[in-house]
A = this chain, B = another copy of it.
Amino acid sequence: MSDPLKIAVAGLGTVGAGVLKILAGQRALLAQRAGRDVEVVGVSARDRNRDRGVPLDGYAWFDDAVQMARETDAHVVVELIGGSDGIAKDVVEAAIDGGKHVVTANKALLAHHGTALAKRAEKAGVALAYEAAVAGGIPIVKAMREGLAANRLSRVYGILNGTCNYILTTMRETGREFEDVLADAQKLGYAEADPAFDIDGVDAAHKLSILTSLAFGTEVDFSSVHVEGIRHVSPLDIQYADELGYRIKLLGIAGMTDHGIEQRVHPCMVPNDSPIAHVEGVFNAVVADGDYVDTTVYEGRGAGEGPTASAVVADIVDILRGIVLPTFAVPVGTLTAAETAPMGRHFGCYYVRLKVLDNPGVFADIAAILRDHRVSMEAILQRGRAPGEPVNVVLTTHETLEEDMIRTLNEIEALEAVAEPPRMIRIETF
């Protein structure tokens, strides 16, 4: 057996502690699988004395993670600090520049600096591995980079944020309001004290931008992702979705279109019989469509100590086995600058919920606006009548250009009989 692979771990939150547990608990198994032992030569975190449920006395402690990345003789630096800049970035850069492989779970870092870091890693001849950054324990990066290597992908999409999926699932099951379910999720530890990153779709967008690069061989382009979160999804919309045969999911979707690459994160109505409609609670799922393999689906836990640490250690095992591949599956010099499809050119179906005064002539006004913008209605639902009172009217459309839809909604909103801004949710028929 070769000499042990030396590892330094920067960041000892939930995932960092999980990594140390796996490396200790599965030591013999990992050595059997990879033909080589792992030795942790340094650990670093903000607070040395916090109880992490894992003994730290056997490891050399560093107050300064960057110094650890620079000065230890580690072969691999595992970055689990998080954040797109600051210490995390310094640690990763110091490791790479020192000829050390990097394993990270940091999606924000890759979303913002993925291409530059990939360039740096390639120049230094080291791995920049990040299985844990997307969809937690699901080995989706490996599947896309290796398992589907024979394919040109046309689309990749998925449920990329467990917090949102948990909230939407619970709202559907209980009929409760968003704010209410969010508060519970925070108590249960499924949502952060500051939940904005999750519920506003930013976390999913970080992950999507990474999947996009892997799928299409393009430079990471987080700033082009169209992002909407789930704050505005109401129990009423969920109920209507159910009635129409849909579930509401926050999806990240990246696809090749005639206008370039479309990257979008927003609530979607997906048909009940689509593979991801039944992915519930904190589970994530990713669907990748290739030209030869057709549709493939990957499902599992998208967060949490065990699943995320499992993905980090999978990357370590790859390095143990000598597998060092280009960060985004192809040499960084061959990544192309993607042409971004403007969201206005998105072509799809829409669900719209209006609150309108139940007056004669309102429908005629709405229908005229739809006609003027070439929006073709598929279905319209109004339950009960209440002359002179505001009632909910739901309509779904055939395929429509988003910019036409937006103009339509603006004009509808301006009608006097319309009591509140229209709610729009895109319908995806995979």
Q: Are A309 and B150 in contact (CB under 8 A)?
A: yes
**Nearest chain B residue, comparing its CB with the CB of A291:** B306
When distances are taken between beta carbons in the complex, the residues of chain B under 8 Å from A138 are 296
Q: Are B32 and A334 in contact (CB under 8 A)?
A: yes
Q: Are B310 and A301 in contact (CB under 8 A)?
A: no
When distances are taken between beta carbons in the complex, the residues of chain B under 8 Å from A139 are 142-143, 146-148, 296
C-alpha gap A295/B311 in the complex (Å): 13
A326 to chain B, nearest CB (A): 8
Determine whether A317 belongs to the interface, using a CB cutoff of 8 Å to chain B: yes
**Nearest chain B residue, comparing its CB with the CB of A138:** B296
Q: Are B299 and A329 in contact (CB under 8 A)?
A: no
Give 13 CB contacts A-B under 8 Å: A22-B292, A32-B334, A139-B146, A139-B296, A143-B147, A150-B317, A291-B306, A292-B313, A293-B300, A295-B300, A296-B298, A297-B298, A298-B298
A220 to chain B, nearest CB (A): 18
Q: Tell me which of B32, B142, B306 contacts A294 (CB under 8 A).
A: B306
Given known contacts A290-B310, A307-B292, A310-B148, A300 and B297 CB-to-CB distance under 8 angstroms: yes
Other contacts beyond A26-B151, A147-B314, A150-B316: 9, CB < 8 A: A142-B142, A142-B143, A147-B311, A149-B317, A150-B312, A150-B313, A293-B306, A297-B297, A321-B323
Which A residues are within 8 Å of any B CB, using their own CB? 18, 22, 26, 29-30, 32-35, 131, 137-139, 142-143, 146-152, 217, 273, 275, 278, 285, 290-301, 306-307, 309-314, 316-318, 321-323, 325, 329-331, 334
Q: How many copies of this chain?
A: 2
A226 to chain B, nearest CB (A): 27
Q: Are A296 and B300 in contact (CB under 8 A)?
A: yes
Given known contacts A139-B147, A152-B26, A292 and B273 CB-to-CB distance under 8 angstroms: no
When distances are taken between beta carbons in the complex, the residues of chain B under 8 Å from A292 are 18, 22, 137, 306-307, 309-310, 313
C-alpha gap A290/B131 in the complex (Å): 16
Q: Are A22 and B150 in contact (CB under 8 A)?
A: yes
Q: Are B275 and A299 in contact (CB under 8 A)?
A: yes
**Nearest chain B residue, comparing its CB with the CB of A131:** B147
A383 to chain B, nearest CB (A): 28
A10 to chain B, nearest CB (A): 19
Q: Are A149 and B300 in contact (CB under 8 A)?
A: no
When distances are taken between beta carbons in the complex, the residues of chain B under 8 Å from A314 are 146-150
Closest 8 CB pairs between A and B?
A139-B147, A150-B313, A296-B300, A137-B293, A297-B299, A292-B306, A293-B310, A149-B317
A277 to chain B, nearest CB (A): 8
When distances are taken between beta carbons in the complex, the residues of chain B under 8 Å from A299 are 275, 296-299
**Nearest chain B residue, comparing its CB with the CB of A325:** B321
C-alpha gap A383/B76 in the complex (Å): 66
When distances are taken between beta carbons in the complex, the residues of chain B under 8 Å from A143 are 139, 142-143, 147
**Nearest chain B residue, comparing its CB with the CB of A301:** B294
A252 to chain B, nearest CB (A): 18
Q: Are B329 and A33 in contact (CB under 8 A)?
A: yes
Q: Which of A273, A296, A325 has the most CB of B within 10 A?
A: A296
A212 to chain B, nearest CB (A): 16
A303 to chain B, nearest CB (A): 11
Q: Tell me which of B131, B149, B275 contacts A34 (CB under 8 A).
A: B149
When distances are taken between beta carbons in the complex, the residues of chain B under 8 Å from A22 are 150, 292
Q: Are A142 and B150 in contact (CB under 8 A)?
A: no
Q: Tell me which of B29, B146, B291, B293 contacts A301 (CB under 8 A).
A: B293
Q: Are A146 and B142 in contact (CB under 8 A)?
A: yes
Q: Are A331 and B32 in contact (CB under 8 A)?
A: yes
Q: Tell me which of B33, B285, B291 contacts A149 (CB under 8 A).
A: B33
**Nearest chain B residue, comparing its CB with the CB of A288:** B300
